Amino acid sequence: MYPLIKEWVERLTVINLDRANENYVKAYDSFANGDFDGISRYLPDEWLEQRTKHAERQKEEGKQQLELLQALTEVAKQNVKIADAELADIAMSYMLKAKAMALENKYEQAISYYEKAINIDPSNADNIWEFAYYLHAIREYSKAEIYYKKCLEIYRKLADENPKAYLPDVATTLNNLGVLHSDLNEYSKALKEYEETLEIRSKLADENPKAYLPDVAMTLNNLANLHSDLNEYPKALKEYEEALEIRRKLADENSKAYLPYVAGTLNNLGILHSDIHEYSKALKEYEESLEIYRKLADENPKAYLPNVADTLNNLANLHSDLNEYSKALKECEEALEIHRKFADENPKVYVKNVAETLGNLSGYYLFTKEYLKSEQSARKALELDGASFAKTNLAHALLFQNHFSEAEKIYKELSQTVYRNNETYTQILLDDFDALEKAGVIPESRKADVEKIRKILKQ
C-alpha cells in the first residue's frame, strides 16, 4: 500500500461504513487496496449524477412538504385559538345564565349552568370559585368544599409562578374554606386555613395596606368567630378588637364601603360579651350594630334587612338572659317577620333562619308561661328544619302541658342525638331544667314529671 493511500485510509476509517451505500463500501475497499479502477467501477459518474438529481428532487419535495406542514400547523394553531376563544365566550355565557338563575332562586338550573361552564374550561379558577361560593351560600357544603379545593389547587400553582398576582386569590379561597369548615364545626381545619390566610394577607398588607388591610380585618374577625365558638374568649376578644379598630379607621375614610363591616364586628363582640355575661357591653355593641344596619337597610333593604334580623335575634337572646322577656319577644317577632319575607323569595337560604327564629321564640314563650304558643312555634320550626334545636323546647312545652308520654319520647331521642363535638343534648336539657326552675316557670303540678325526666336523662 502506498504511504499516501495508507494515510487517507487511516483518516477515512472514522467514517461509519454501516450507514454507507453498498457500492460505496466496495469502492472504499478498492481504494484501500489501491484498486482505483474499482472505484469507478462501483461508483460510475452517471450513477452518482442520477442519485444527486434524485436526492435534490427529494430534498425539494421535502422542503415543500415541510412548508405545507408549517402552513397547516399555523392554520391549526389559529383554528385552536379561535375555538378556545369561542369556548371561552360560551363558558362566559353559561356563567351569566347561572347568575341569572341564582338571582331567581332557581337552584337546579343555576347549578347546571355553572357545571356546563366549568366543564368547558376546567382550568378557569375564577369560574370555579364563583360556583363554590354559590354552593356555599345555598348551604350545599359538601359540593362547595370540593370546588373550593379544586380552585385552591389551581391558584396555588399559579401563585408559584406569579405570587404577586395570585397569592390574594389563594388567601381568599383559604378564607372561604375556613368559613365553610366553621359552619360544619370542623374547627381544626378552619383554624389552619384562617391562620394561613392571615399570614398571607398580613404580608400583602405590609406592602400595600390600603388594598389589603380590609382583608386582614376580615380574617381577624373570622378567627375571632372561631375562637369564640371554641370558648377561647381572650383570643377572640383580642382579634375582634383589632378587627374593629381597623374597620373603624377604614369607615372614617369611606363609610359607605366599611360601615357594614363595623356593624358586623360590633355584633360579634356583642355575642362574645353575652357569652361571658358582660351584658352591659353586649347591649351597647348590639344597639350600635342595629342602628348602623337599620340605616343601611333604609337605603338597601335587600342587602341589609337580614342583618337587621340577625342583630334583633341576638338582642332578644340578651334580653332573655336578663329576664326581660317582653323585649325579647318583641325583637324576636320582628326578626321572624323579616326572615319570613326573605324565605318566601329564597327558601333555600332563609328557611333555616326562620326555623331558628321560631325555635328562639318557642324558648321565650316557655319563660312567659305561654306553653301552647311555645309548642306551636317549636312545631312550625321543626316542619321547616327537622334538625332544629326547637325540639328541646317542644319537649318542655309538652311536658308542662301534661303530655308526658309524648315529651318523654322526645327527651329520650334527644339524649341519643349528637349536638356538636360528639356531645348529646342531655346536658343541654338538664341545664334547661335548671334555668326554667330558677325562673319559676315550671308548673307546680309538673315538677314531679320534671324529676322523672331528670332521672331518665342521668341514667
In this predicted structure, what is the pLDDT of residue 20?
Answer: 58
Cβ neighbors of 241 (< 8 A, separation 6 or more) are: 269
Does residue 38 lie in a domain region? yes
> Residue 231 in 3-state DSSP?
coil
Q: How confident is the model at residue 6 (pLDDT cuts 50, 70, 90)?
A: low
Domain total of the chain = 1
Rounded CA-CA distance 343/107 in Å is: 14
| Average of per-residue pLDDT across 238-260 | 96
Q: Are strands 423-424 and 418-420 parallel, antiparallel or unpaired?
A: antiparallel
Query: From the DSSP assignment, how many helices (H) and strands (E) are in the chain?
Result: 21, 2
Here the cell at position 394 is 317542644
Q: How confident is the model at residue 14 (pLDDT cuts 50, 70, 90)?
A: very low
Does residue 97 lie in a domain region? no
What are residue 370's phi and psi, to 5 degrees? -100, 75
Q: How confident is the model at residue 184 (pLDDT cuts 50, 70, 90)?
A: very high
Residue 50 reports pLDDT greater than 90: no
pTM for this model (two decimals): 0.74
Does residue 54 lie in a domain region? yes
The residue to which cell 350600635 is assigned: 288
Rounded CA-CA distance 173/180 in Å is: 11
Contact between 172 and 166 (Cβ < 8 Å): no
Residues in the chain: 459
In this predicted structure, what is the pLDDT of residue 153?
Answer: 97
Specify the higher pLDDT residue, 6 or 87: 87
Rounded CA-CA distance 412/425 in Å is: 10
For the chain, give the mean pLDDT: 91
Residue 423's beta-bridge partner residues? 420
Does residue 126 lie in a domain region? no
Contact between 91 and 121 (Cβ < 8 Å): yes
Does residue 34 lie in a domain region? yes
Does residue 26 lie in a domain region? yes
Here the cell at position 32 is 484501500
> Residue 314 in 3-state DSSP?
helix
Does residue 30 lie in a domain region? yes
Residue 36 reports pLDDT greater than 50: yes
Q: Provide the 10 A C-beta neighbour count for residue 318.
A: 22
Q: How confident is the model at residue 143 (pLDDT cuts 50, 70, 90)?
A: very high
Residue 165 reports pLDDT greater than 90: yes
In this predicted structure, what is the pLDDT of residue 249?
Answer: 96
Q: Where are the alpha helices (DSSP H) in 33-106?
A: 36-42, 45-103
Contact between 394 and 425 (Cβ < 8 Å): no
Contact between 414 and 392 (Cβ < 8 Å): yes
Residue 81 reports pLDDT greater than 90: no
Q: How confident is the model at residue 18 (pLDDT cuts 50, 70, 90)?
A: low
| Average of per-residue pLDDT across 169-176 | 97
Residue 435 burial (10 A CB sphere; 0-12, 13-18, 19+) = middle
Does residue 59 lie in a domain region? yes
- The tens digit of pLDDT for each residue in 206-248 reads 999 999 999 999 999 999 999 999 999 999 999 999 999 999 9
- The tens digit of pLDDT for each residue in 288-312 reads 999 999 999 999 999 999 999 999 9
For residue 47, give its domain range.
3-67
